[in-house]
Amino acid sequence: MAAKIARYVLLFIPAVVLISAITHPHPPLSQAAAPLKVVAEVGGATPVGGTFSSFGLGNCVGGPSINDKGHIAFGASVTGGQTPGGIFLSTETGIRKVVAAGDVAPNGRLLTSFQQCPKVNNNDEVLFVGLTGVTGEDAALYLWRGGLVRTIVAPGDPAPGGGTFTGAGFTAHETGAVVVEIDLNDQGDVGFVGTVEGGEYDIAIFVRSAGHVSKVVAIGDSSPTGGDFVYLSGLDLDNAGRAAFEGWTNWSFTSGGLFLGTTTLLAIPTSIPVGTISSICCSPAVNNVTQGASSGKLADGRTGVFFTDDRGTTAVVLDGEATPVGGTFLRHSTYPVDLNDRGQVVFHSRIVGGPASNGIFVSSGGKLDVIVLSGQSGSAGVGHPQINNVGQVAFYDWVAEKIFLFSPDADGDGIVDLIDNCPSTPNPSQADLNGDGIGDICKPPYPAPPGYMLPWPAPLSRKVNVGPSKDHKGDTRFALDFGLVDETVVAARGGKVIEVIENWGVGGCSDKYDSKANMVVVDHGDGTKAYYLHLAQNQVFPKVGDIVIRGQPIGISDSSGHACGAHLHFAVVCAVKPKDCPSGTVAKAVPVTFLDVAGGTPVVGQSYPSGNAFP
């Protein structure tokens, strides 16, 4: 069965003399320095003499391969050097030659050329396709580590299920077009697309682990979604040795999906809240926690970037949506995406009506940030981004012909901003005692600064339903009931959360529900604490021990406990330190004045706009 004409072209370089390993120094890629660094560029010096003349990364599936150390593997052609090109590795100390045309392959023959899309893992092992002749017929898959090269798969090796390999790492068509598919994990497992002669299948995806090669899926195999596969691409290998791939059962690419072995991660077509995903494309990514990301298209024609996990699939961004720098996104369906183990998705997009024609963006926890725009720092046509697990992004500029590393560290503590739990203040230890994702050094002050504001988000206006009255008397006389119905409640003043109850799902206008109110209690650190009662079940946001600041969302109002309808019961109570409270008020609600209420004291029956904005 012949392979479909591929969407990428393999770039090879001619052979010359054998050379030895050389290291060419360049400035260290310090995270505390400028966030955008040129790793290599056409015209730049190489470790083998001469200058780089091309990278060929525009023809790769994905982009420059980056590991968690910020090391980048790439292939390049060279002008005026000791060799016409090779595979290189950029580290903190410089660019090192991995292998070059003229080096001796493990079979004793001279390597003549390379596929310029290598992969690097966290052990600085580099996987690449190399030739020892002038045609692709003798292309083999090799692994380099610390100056030594060994063969992974070569033409003539036996294939699982019978027959022999005729190619590894790419599939070729009679027109000369090829698609390159290799990957490498941190265990040294290798995934690759291979062609086979005389066996049960012609083209398949394989994994080599502990010296053993096994087939994952072949063209002609049954798809978990029905039908037989006619096209396979987008290989991604996780650290468990599981191969993810894009597979299709028709040539219109409308039936198939994203798979992890025999498990379906995203079936095509599939419906999500914003429409039906009718296709995905171009090297989807899967991480080590079984999350996936892909570019694709909805049935209504809009393109987008999609994220998949065990809860389902959501749209990260769609055509026409606003970018974080102005203008709107356009055309994602033909661009590769990447994904790290933190669930951060990096992607390239065109921009309409913005400050640049295109850019690279990252989605993290639902928040979109820009990595780089075309025209910044000498970049012109940015694309092919790859992200590592510490938030660094490598990408290729096909216009300026440069490879970049984005590694922002505003506070200079060696932790990239994208994952720094306090990016504005140096904290290399990343200490976070309560595990809330905010570094202890960045926690709000405690005891809290004085001053209360209305406990709903600005600029909303809500009514005071109950104050001192027959309903609020005795110890609760100065408590207030606000007309918040199924709405966000925010902290009226900062402090430490000392109690959280959110398990109750019952309530009513009866004393029997007195002990069944969901609540948050915030200690202000000055002998007072605030009670926020009648919150919705499982809708309390902070945990006990968290430090919250004024305006921070803490829950959703409801009618749990003794409540004759949904509202927020708010009271400031003196704690167990009589010296800090007015005489005789310990464990009793005390009067509260609000900074955003004229005169300070709200009047029952009146509505007030909140000035309580979360920073």
Q: pLDDT tens across 195-227, in order?
A: 999 999 999 999 999 999 999 999 999 999 999
Question: How many whole angstroms separate alpha carbon 418 and alpha carbon 426?
Answer: 14
pLDDT of residue 27: 28
Residue 407: predicted pLDDT: 87
- 349, β-bridge pairs: 359
User: Residue 246 has what DSSP assignment?
Assistant: E
What is the rounded distance in angstroms from the CA atom of residue 347 to the CA atom of residue 206? 27
**What span, in angstroms and rounded, lies between the C-alpha atoms of 352 and 330?**
7
Q: Are strands 507-508 and 561-562 parallel, antiparallel or unpaired?
A: parallel
Spatial distance between the Cα atoms of 545 and 564, rounded to a whole number of angstroms:
31
What does each C-alpha distance from 493 to 41, 219, 463, 496, 571 come to in angstroms? Answer: 53, 62, 19, 10, 12
> What is residue 11's predicted lDDT score, i.e. its pLDDT?
32
Please, what is the Cα angle at 8 between 3 and 11, to 5 degrees? 110
Q: Do you know the residue count of the chain?
A: 615
CA 76 to CA 57: how far, in whole Å? Answer: 9
d(CA 222, CA 182): 23
The label of the residue with tokens 């992890």 reads 260
pLDDT at 484: 95
Question: What number of other Cβ atoms are within 10 A of residue 377's Cβ?
Answer: 17
Residue ranges of the chain with per-residue pLDDT less than 50: 1-33, 58-59, 172-178, 578-580, 583-586
Q: What distances in angstroms separate CA 171 from CA 71, 93, 150, 283, one per listed residue?
A: 28, 36, 22, 15
Q: Is 457 helix (H, G, I), strand (E, B) or coil?
A: coil
Please give the Cα distance from 516 to 494 (Å, whole number). Answer: 25
Residue 387 has which token pair?
């992200």
8 A C-beta contact, residue 445 and residue 462: no
Residue showing tokens 């002038």:
134
Note whether 551 and 494 are within 8 A (CB): no
Of residues 526, 461, 541, the one with CA closest to residue 493? 526
Cis before 459 (ω within 30): yes
Q: Cα–Cα distances in Å, from 212 out to 152, 159, 190, 271?
A: 10, 10, 10, 39
Give the separation between CA 444 and CA 193, rounded to whole angstroms.
52
Domain 461-609 top-level CATH class: mainly beta
Phi, psi of 188 (to 5 degrees): 90, 5
Are residues 596 and 461 in contact, defined by beta-carbon separation less than 8 angstroms?
Answer: no
Rg, Å, the chain Cα set: 30
Sign of CA pseudo-dihedral 415, 420, 424, 428: negative
For residue 131, give the H/E element and its range: strand 126-131
Return d(Cα 45, Cα 48) in angstroms, integer. Answer: 8
Residue type, 84: P
Structure tokens at 158: 């036996």
**Residue pointed to by tokens 């990096």:** 346
pLDDT one-digit tens code per residue, 231-280: 988 889 999 999 999 999 999 889 999 999 999 999 999 999 999 999 99
Distance between CA atoms of residues 219 and 228, nearest Å: 8
Amino acid 226 reads G
Q: Answer yes or no: are the C-beta atoms of 219 and 201 closer than 8 Å.
A: yes
Cα 6 from chain centroid?
28
Coil vs helix vs strand at 344 = coil
Tokens encoding 559? 């009618």
- Beta-bridged to residue 248, according to DSSP, are 231, 256
Residue 292: per-residue pLDDT? 95
Domains in the chain: boundaries: 461-609
- Is residue 520 within 8 Å of 529, Cβ to Cβ? no
Tokens representing residue 222 in the block: 């049954």
| Contact (CB, 8 A) for 258 and 284 | yes
- Are the CB atoms for 563 and 534 separated by under 8 Å? yes
CB 366 within 8 A of CB 375: no
d(CA 36, CA 26): 15
